[in-house]
Structure 1
């Protein structure tokens, strides 16, 4: 990649997207910062001659195409696409409405799909590019109260892992970022909505979980400015990592997941190996 990169960042109106755009600009890169309200994006990031703000609702494929075209029109290329836009629909599976479950997938799975689909032809033509997708530790481990969010992030992980070898021959690389808990706006009412408590069996756990997460808001251990700086550093590498564990808690999740998978593979190993046809070795 050229030393000066052109970044396209989704969800840049607040939270992690603002930090990413600011860090890229501070490193001397050009940034196309997108959000549903471009005026809010501009106010949040601040003025820069290397900044363009564009309207983008990631669930709208036409918006995605327009944002990519705006990047090409202004800067001639896209070097780094950061799929960052997200929301969080929390609750026990039985209490999350089907509409909300689908809406979660629309934003956090099909949103990145839409924007990446729009950007890949540009990257293929220039025979270079990096697709960075902000996933989550919830894309590696499931947990109660996050079934919709984890479903979307598990899907993102599989999609990106499969996309990687498809686009590698064109000089395009991918990087999944799995943050733990960072002090962003994800747990604010603007980003997180809780399923209505409707089933008595879940009521006590729902109340406790919601109270716990609300008390955590603004007190998360991760520093988003440091994460943004780390991602700028990683995007400059000739070989960016396929996955980046963002934060000490994320490193712990990676390590525990690896141990769990090895233990699960070993638990019934003999039974697993005995499932081949009798003539398989003939």
Structure 2
């Protein structure tokens, strides 16, 4: 087998769309899923025997299973799962209603679990596969205004680390991707969510954070085109990395966090 079959969530735009495009350009076949698929097939512009477009809300486990069945019916196998669909719920914790906190986890964590639960039986039968989780450096580092978003990514990474050890003996590999700030629609008002509960104690900090987000939208330092190419290349290697940090900011923040943890562990050992 020379070509691979990709199953990508959140492929309607942003990094998911770029991954679908680049995988097709590499000669692979793609199942491109998104909540909204209008114009997606036309945009990717390849023959139907290499591309299957399916609407998918990742929070619907039955829909995930149906998309899996359609993928197998069309292409016979699934080699690479990319759990890319996600949501950015930002804001100070107390300003975010409980329903929005839960929605963040329903998409970023439980949605990824739904799709993995649907696809993993196919990979187990094949005794091969690669599960890619698009996380964030905020899966390692949390900051003011990002506590809820980071919590969902911390949880995603904790699940993926344990899952990786469970599926590795069956020939199924895993990769956690941790980008820094990328020039996608991630911070666009059509995508990002902000807390809506007004609390005077946080008002000044929240206003500054919102100004930062508005200014950063579209000016982020990292190029998603480069990351997409890296992921497609990594998926083609016989022994891909299990973790891929992307961007100088991601490396700086993760490095600082690792040094902080090392210092705290050493201090704790001395006290204990």
**TM band (smaller chain):** over 0.9
Contact 1:15–1:185, Cα closer than 8 Å, also in 2: yes
SS of structure 1 residue aligned to 2:193: strand
Q: Distance in 2 between matches of 1:87 and 1:132?
A: 17
Tell me the equivalent position of 2:6. Answer: 7
Query: Which structure 1 residue ranges, 5 or more long, are not aligned?
Result: 273-282
Cα distance in 1 for partners of 2:144, 2:128 equals: 40
Cα deviations by residue, 1:8-44 (Å, 9 ceiling, x for unpaired):
0000111111101001001111000001122243244
TM-score (norm 1): 0.93
SS in 2 for 1:7: strand
Partner-residue secondary structure (3-state), 1:68: helix
TM-score normalised over the length of structure 2 = 0.97
Number of residue pairs matched by the alignment: 271
Q: Secondary structure at the match of 2:239?
A: coil
Q: Is the 8 A contact 1:11 1:86 kept in 2?
A: yes
Q: Give 1:94 shift.
A: 0.7
The residue that corresponds to 1:57 in the other structure is 57
Consecutive unaligned residues of structure 2, counting only runs of 5 or more, are none
CA distance in 2, matches of 1:37, 1:190: 14
CA contact (8 A) 2:141 2:254 kept: no
1:102-251 equivalent positions in 2, closer than 5 A: 102-251=102-251
Q: CA deviation at 1:216?
A: 0.7
Provide the residue aligned with 2:29 in structure 1.
30
Three-state SS of the structure 2 residue aligned to 1:21 is helix
Task: Give me the whole-angstrom Cα distance separating, in 2, the residues matched to 1:270 and 1:89.
Answer: 38
2:18 matched residue in structure 1: 19
Give the deviation of 1:138 after TM superposition.
0.6
Which SS does the other structure have where 1:70 is aligned? helix
- Computed over aligned residues only, the root mean square deviation of the Cα atoms, in angstroms, reads 1.1
What displacement does 1:190 show?
2.0
Rg: which structure is higher?
A: 1
Residue in 2 that maps onto 1:280: none
